Each structure stands twice: as C-alpha cells, then as structure tokens.
Amino acid sequence: MGLMADSLDMLADSIVYGLSLLAVGAAISRKKKVAKMSGYFQMALAFLGFSEVTRRFFTQSGTPLFQYMVIVSVLALIGNSVSLWLINKAKSEEAHMQASAIFTSNDIIVNGGVILAGVLVYFFESKLPDLVIGGIVFAFVLRGASRILKLAR
C-alpha cells in the first residue's frame, strides 16, 4: 500500500508539474488557478487512498514483497532528490513553483517511509507496517494539498 500510495502521489506530481509548466509566463491569477487545481487533485487522491488503506485493513491480503518496496523507493528517492534540487535552484516565489516544491519535499519523506515500511514488513512478516505507512503517506498528501490551497488564495 505504501508503494501504491507513493506511485499515485508521483502520478499526481507529474500532472502538477505539467500544469506548472503551462503556467510559466502566465498571469498570477492563472498560476494561482493552477495551484488550486493541483491542491484539489491531491486532496481527491488522498481520500481515495485512505479508502483503499481501510479496505485492505479489513480484508484478507498477503504480506507485500519488501524487496520491491525498498528497491523502487530508493530509486524514487534519488529522482525526487534531484528534482527538489532543481526546483530549489530556480528560487521562485510563485505559487505554482512553491506547489511543486511542496509535492517533491513530501515525496522525499514518503520515499523514506516506504523504505522503512519495507524493512518493517520484512522483520515482522506482516502487512500492518505497509498499511500504516500507506495511511501516513496519504496524510502527507492531504497536508500538502491543504498547504497548496492556502498558497493559491
């Protein structure tokens, strides 16, 4: 679940990055509109994710493969770290760029969480660490969405 949450979050980020690129050079009102769309999109993903974590908690499902969780998350961590470095290098105060920085910062934290979940799944041979981290990931997504909506005001 943690890896799925991370991948959905990355999908949302890539859409937000695309929207942010469309806003480059646009009026401030359009940039704020793009940031708002990004925030609402992230919020919708968070609520869908929470429902999936809840469903998996109350149904029978196997223990996730910790190797995939760790390997994919390490690769994602490297990519997100480079992305955040590039975003911060631009030193932009505009809402759409700050939204991108928030998403990427959250992703780095999430990547670390999924790696931790993979290690805990291995040691405890249980799906619970994955579900807990998945829930935490979606909480980060929801928090990021709220921050972005505040920026877009």
CA 78 to the chain's CA centroid: 15
pLDDT, residue 96, reads 66
pLDDT, residue 52, reads 85
How many other C-beta atoms are found inside a 10 Å radius of the C-beta of residue 148?
Answer: 26
Would the pTM count as exceeding 0.85?
no
CA–CA separation, 126 and 107 (whole Å): 24
DSSP 64-98: P-HHHHHHHHHHHHHHHHHHHHHHHHH---SHHHH
117-134 per-position pLDDT tens digit: 999 989 998 889 889 988
Give the DSSP H or E segment for 5: helix 2-23
- 50 or 34: which leads in pLDDT: 50
Percent of the chain with pLDDT over 90: 10
- Among positive and negative, which fits the CA dihedral 27, 31, 36, 41? positive
Q: Which two tokens stand for residue 32?
A: 């704020």
pLDDT, residue 120, reads 92
